Amino acid sequence: MKRLLWLGIGLAVGVVVVRKMNRAAQQFTPTGIASSLSESAGGLVESMRSFVDDVRAGMAEREQEIHAAFAEGVLYEDEFADLRDDDVEERRVGSHRRDEPGDGKR
């Protein structure tokens, strides 16, 4: 009876080992590699979609804040003005400046 028990345990362990080895070998076949890559790419695409959705939601929220402040006539505080190097007034004047007619510049 003891021998039969150990035979059963040995067979069970052998089956488990063979199945795991077959799964590992399957991963290194061209089909296994292709499926692994497609799963990885699918995860990357889903992560990118999630990131883009989060950015769009943040942009929409910020736009609503700016529109609300404009509608109320309140000067909207630019939280990021200190992070920029250029002067906002200088940038505004410089972008609308046109060459004088007749100065030869085009």
Lookup: tokens for 11: 């067979």
Q: CA 43 to CA 80: how far, in whole Å?
A: 34
Cα separation, 50 vs 41, in Å, equals: 14
Domain ranges within the chain, ordered by starting residue: 2-96
CA distances from 53 to 39, 45, 63, 72 (A): 21, 12, 15, 29
The length of the chain in residues reads: 106
pTM of the full structure = 0.44
Q: Return per-residue pLDDT of the chain as tens, 106 residues.
A: 889 999 999 999 999 999 999 988 888 888 888 888 888 888 889 999 999 999 999 999 999 988 988 888 877 677 777 777 766 555 555 554 445 555 555 4
What does the alpha-carbon distance between residue 17 and residue 10 come to, in Å, rounded to a whole number? Answer: 10
